[in-house]
Amino acid sequence: MARPATIHVCSACGHVEAKWHGQCPGCGEWNTLTEERAPARVTGAAAGSRAARAAAPRGPGGTPQRLRDVHADRTPRLLTGIGELDRLLGGGIVPGSLVLIGGSPGIGKSTLTTMALGLLQGSGRRTLYVSGEESPAQIRLRAERLEAGSAPGALDVPVLAETDLDAVLATLEAEQPEVCVIDSVQTLAAGDLSGAPGTVGQVREVATRVMEVAKRTGTAVLLVGHVTKDGALAGPRVLEHLVDCVLQFEGERERTYRTLRALKNRFGSTNDVGVFEMRDGGLVEVLDASARFVGEATRAPGSVVLAAMEGSRPLLVEVQALVSPSELVPPRRVVNGIDRNRLALVLAVLARHAGVGTGTADVFVNVVGGVRVDEPGADLAVALAVAGAARGVVLGGEDSPTPVAAFGEIGLTGELRSVAHHDRRREEAEKFGLAQIISPESAPTLREALRAGAVGRRVHAAA
């Protein structure tokens, strides 16, 4: 058989070449060209899959159909029984859909997907777990732990340890499971493409062909994908437009808290987040995350409680800062859980408009529990934590009985700007007994917010 025509695509810029080059002629990056199958059909993979998605037979010669006349099955969704996961998916798994679960190594992707399959299998669904990474024995060890814990049924899940795409697809066709997990998309490879598993071409090919089978057989597929910390690795990024849902698993491996976030969802909203805790028996949903984080919050200089919004839910998290004299030029700015550029902005405004200079100090900011807050509403909490740390002052004063809560965006002129859902953030803080809440509604400028938190100039001068 003649080898199918292939092209070479740059994983950085998408530039296409007929032959392989060491350096991409498009963007100048080195070693980014990978081989993939040339689009055989005129309209390529996307059109093929879109057409396949419509359950109704197409009119002859591609005659457009009125949407009213399109037949759409209302197949009930498959509930995994993991409340947070079902909620993120918009009410369970849609049959025939493709869900990408991305996350850094060791975060718990295999654990979560094994649990989901175990629970589904336990409730009488046909499932299949395809692993290209671990041996059946390794998977069994994890399943034993989960069976004893939160996912009875985990040991009944059929597994297939396989890395050859054709073999996996043949099994899918033969077994026709209702839900299948492929762990991971980067370990499968199509034999007729020369690229190594995990290259852009291979990953795209694997996902496209799995999708064709999934849509045809009605199998819902959960694709596991690795991403590096900065999300850069070839793979999941190129799949985002292809799949129906993208769930991102975040958190730090060493910490017990994990958040699962919907980045894209064709069947539900995307602004929701689930919080999990990694335990012996598997991942456990944390329904009272705010209570935990507030309960663990310290009462020391440099600590403040941020009333954040995680999607549609308010979440209280502790933000800590450490400011210490530095020998380095430029000094260190280390962040965990917030955006580094956002810290730069906050430090600049603190120095320029609130008299808190940190130009010769290392600044560390950490959102406790491994939670990530990517919203401008975190600015004020970061600023208060840094100011408290810089001045060695407990926010709200030494004798205030509860931690101070804060939220709000900081503008470049030192003003505080309202953020979405300020009422719900306030309610959440009040619900957990935080007496003092500093926000744009109570303080129009950063300077006044610092004064309200007792870390303003006057306190400093008096100390």
Positions touching ligand ATP (CB under 6 A) are 103, 105-111, 133, 145, 226, 253, 278, 280
| Ramachandran assignment for 260, one of left (phi > 0), alpha (psi -120 to 50 degrees), beta (any other) | beta
Question: In Å, what is the CA distance from 251 to each residue of 106, 114, 157, 258, 306?
Answer: 10, 19, 27, 5, 17
111's contact among ligand ATP, Mg ion, none, with CB below 5 to 8 A by partner kind, is ligand ATP
Cα-to-chain-centroid distance, residue 252 = 12
**Interface contacts to Mg ion, rule CB under 5 A:** 110
Judged by beta carbon, residue 233 or residue 385, the one nearer Mg ion is: 233
91's contact among ligand ATP, Mg ion, none, with CB below 5 to 8 A by partner kind, is none
Distance CA 372, CA 261 (A): 10
List helix spans (H) across 19-135.
44-53, 83-88, 109-122
DSSP string, 378-436: GHHHHHHHHHHHHHT--TT-TT-SS--EE--EE-TTSBEE--TTHHHHHHHHHHTT---
6's contact among ligand ATP, Mg ion, none, with CB below 5 to 8 A by partner kind, is none
Judged by beta carbon, residue 34 or residue 110, the one nearer Mg ion is: 110
CB count, 10 Å around CB of 437?
20
Judged by beta carbon, residue 110 or residue 320, the one nearer Mg ion is: 110
256 and 279 in contact (C-beta within 8 Å)? yes
CB of 60 to ligand ATP, least distance (A): 47
452's contact among Mg ion, ligand ATP, none, with CB below 5 to 8 A by partner kind, is none
105's contact among ligand ATP, Mg ion, none, with CB below 5 to 8 A by partner kind, is ligand ATP
CB of 111 to ligand ATP, least distance (A): 3
CB count, 10 Å around CB of 240?
14
CB of 230 to ligand ATP, least distance (A): 16
CB of 148 to ligand ATP, least distance (A): 10
Q: Which of 79, 49, 54 is nearest to 64 (CA)?
A: 54
Judged by beta carbon, residue 139 or residue 454, the one nearer Mg ion is: 139
416 and 449 in contact (C-beta within 8 Å)? yes
Judged by beta carbon, residue 106 or residue 401, the one nearer ligand ATP is: 106
388 and 303 in contact (C-beta within 8 Å)? yes
CB of 142 to ligand ATP, least distance (A): 7
DSSP string, 284-299: EE-TTHHHHHHHH---
CB of 286 to Mg ion, least distance (A): 21
280's contact among ligand ATP, Mg ion, none, with CB below 5 to 8 A by partner kind, is ligand ATP
Judged by beta carbon, residue 110 or residue 358, the one nearer Mg ion is: 110
CB of 388 to ligand ATP, least distance (A): 32
CB of 63 to ligand ATP, least distance (A): 46
Judged by beta carbon, residue 150 or residue 366, the one nearer ligand ATP is: 150
Q: Which of 289, 292, 290, 294 is nearest to 304 (CA)?
A: 294
Judged by beta carbon, residue 133 or residue 164, the one nearer ligand ATP is: 133
Non-local (6+) Cβ contacts of 57 within 8 A are none
